[in-house]
Amino acid sequence: MRTWWIPLAFLACSAPREPLTNTGDSGTVLRIGPIEPLGWLGLATAAKDSNNLPRHAPVSAAHPLVTPVERDDVLDSATSIAAIGTTGGVQQFKTGARAKVPYGCDGHTLEVTTFTGPRLTPGAVWLLPPTIPPTWKPAPLPIVSRSAVAAQRSYAIGPLALDLRRTGDLRGTLTISRNGKVVHTAPFERHLMEGADAAPIHLAEGGPGIPEPIAAWTIGPSGPILLVLTQPGYEGTTLRALLVEAASARAIESMEMYLYSCAF
């Protein structure tokens, strides 16, 4: 069985927001306003439990794709949805009923909307909005760990560089750069629960309060990148999405989800 940590919050600071743009193959620029939909987050399940599963991946032999988002909020009157995992391309799924799937410990379950279709790599999934421009070419980006020590950790994700640095015993700062230019900074902190280990945070080990990138997708060549971070706490984990553009990044609040797993 997996060992469960779980969630906290971090505050984001970005450069001034710019319109979402994406350059298609023709060289034309697609602009999307800040209130236009980007879709939702889903979770690709694993058919059976394993110690190697991501902490945020549920287990279900019957349902390959799920989301805590209510069915009507995702689909309206549609009966299918397009989705893309952390590997591979866009796949089509048929919607199913609401159900409960095992997640966490002590028999805990998540209530989710289910989908039938192919199995994806367990973990975060981008559920695309019902209608997307033809210039969108969603594709996953690999997440590469560059360095990992107690006081500093870094990742490379396509043109992005993520750097976590410890600034105090229980505090740190996340910095995101794109093509060498800083576009986003956010402090993070471990808020201790009663009985928790008060040792300084160890960024290489992760744990409560420490953000970690778990998924990223390009919307198109040289276009915006949808980045998903998980931030574990003591009783669950929070997934947050950021849209990283050429000179700024912004949180996509409609994609945020909290997954409760077990009591501390």
Q: Write out pLDDT tens, residues 80-101.
A: 899 999 999 999 999 999 999 9
Number of other CB atoms surrounding residue 130 within 10 Å: 15
Q: How confident is the model over 124-181, as pLDDT tens digits?
A: 999 999 888 888 899 999 999 999 999 999 999 999 999 999 999 999 999 999 999 9
**How far apart are alpha carbons 94 and 89 in whole angstroms?**
17
Other Cβ atoms within 10 Å of 156 Cβ, number: 14
Domain boundaries, the chain: 13-260
Residue indicated by tokens 């694993």: 46
What tokens were used for 245? 């553009």
Q: What is the pTM of this model?
A: 0.87
Residues 219 and 30 sit within 8 Å (Cβ to Cβ): no
* The pairing of beta strand 236-244 with beta strand 40-44: unpaired
3-state class (DSSP) for residue 119: coil
